A and B are shown apart, each in its own frame.
Chain A
Amino acid sequence: MKVDIEREIQQSAEDSARRIRELLAARKVFAVNLISSPGSGKTTLIEAAIDAMRGKKRIAVIEGDIETDIDAARIRKHGVQAHQINTRSSCHIQPFLLLAALDHIDLDKTDLLFVENVGNLVCPAEVPLGEDVRIVALSVTEGDEKPLKYPLVFKTSDLLVITKTDLLPHVKFDPDRVKIAARAVNPGIEIFEISAVTGYGLPAFLRRIETLCDRKNG
């Protein structure tokens, strides 16, 4: 007997993601899922956001890494709440892990939650975490062919931030190639170019996150 079902395969992830979304909506928390390869500057971006939004937004951070709590400790030095998820063998944060991690964050004292995913452009793209905004970061040292090699993450992200632009004179990287490929799969993607070292482009990028956060929580 043949049974037609037509079901998305990552149903269990969708269910947990919906619970996260409901929990964050009830507590008026705006959540960012930050994805990139290892070493693109995700933690540095979060540190810049914390420093720029001090006194304006109460930020909390959930860090995802296979091992160690180095990143959570680094974030706590900035005086904000941070909790580390160690995924061990898993190459991405799974929604049920995030749901459990949210118990360690005082959501009533949080306006903006950054979830720093495990460094990886493949699996995190497939897994919804109940986020309001998905940001993919790409550093200029990684090469401009990443959107051709990993199209799904560029298709499913709302914002693309090209990082380490201060290194552009030293590497072969054409930002336009990245933009054309990213927009081919995702015409609505918003693209920013920044350098955390010089501060170039950072204010505009951080202002955009603040605006999106305000739009949700008024």
Chain B
Amino acid sequence: MHELGIATDLLDIAIAEAQKHGGRRITALNLRVGVLRGVVPEHLHFLFGHIAKGTIAEDARLEIEEEPIRIECEVCGPSEAREFTLECPACKMPCLRIEGGDALRVLSLEIDD
């Protein structure tokens, strides 16, 4: 249920930014969320929809772009994965270096003025 805190912050940011740009209605929010964040998109959609009721964001669509982790394999080189793993997707060897996957960011919003 940590999605509720995320949804609340997201709504605050979206409304503040929309008002700054003279927006009267928010139609979409574009997010990037890393796979390490453990965010369940269905929960975020549901909770955001619930708390946004009656605000200028009530009809906003959440577009969630997933940020993969980057795996560095000594043999195969870098690759990406959409689930946390220590294995190289190609050779299945355990890898000692995993990067990225921790984004939790609003990239942009779409507004009507």
Determine whether the beta carbon of A2 is less than 8 Å from that of B37: no
Determine whether the beta carbon of B108 is less than 8 Å from that of A9.
no
Number of A-B contacts (CB under 8 A): 89
Do the beta carbons of B6 and A9 come within 8 Å of each other?
yes
A122, B6: Cα distance in complex, Å: 13
Q: Is the interface of B mostly helix, strand, loop or mixed?
A: mixed
Chain A residue numbers with a CB within 8 Å of B13 are 5, 7, 9, 11
Specify which of B37, B84, B108 is in contact with A148 (CB 8 Å cutoff).
B84
Tell me how many residues of A have a C-beta within 8 Å of chain B. 28
Residues of B within 8 A of A150 (CB): 38
A189, CB-defined interface residue at 8 Å: no
Distance of A184 Cα from B97 Cα, bound (Å): 4
Given A151-B84, A184-B96, A9-B36 contact (CB < 8 Å): no
- The bracket for how many chain B residues form the interface is 35 or more
**A151–B36 contact, CB under 8 A?**
yes
Cα of A13 to Cα of B17 in the assembled complex, Å? 17
Whether the Cβ atoms of A126 and B9 lie closer than 8 Å is no
Residue A3 at the B interface, CB < 8 A?
A: yes
Residue from B2, B6, B23, B36 in contact with A1 in the complex, judged by beta carbons closer than 8 Å = B23
B85 / chain A contacts, CB cutoff of 8 Å: 148
A to B CB contacts below 8 Å, 5 in the list: A1-B113, A5-B108, A6-B105, A9-B106, A152-B38
Enumerate chain B interface residues (CB-CB to A < 8 A). 1-2, 5-6, 9-10, 12-13, 17-18, 21, 23, 31, 36-38, 84-86, 94-98, 101-102, 104-113
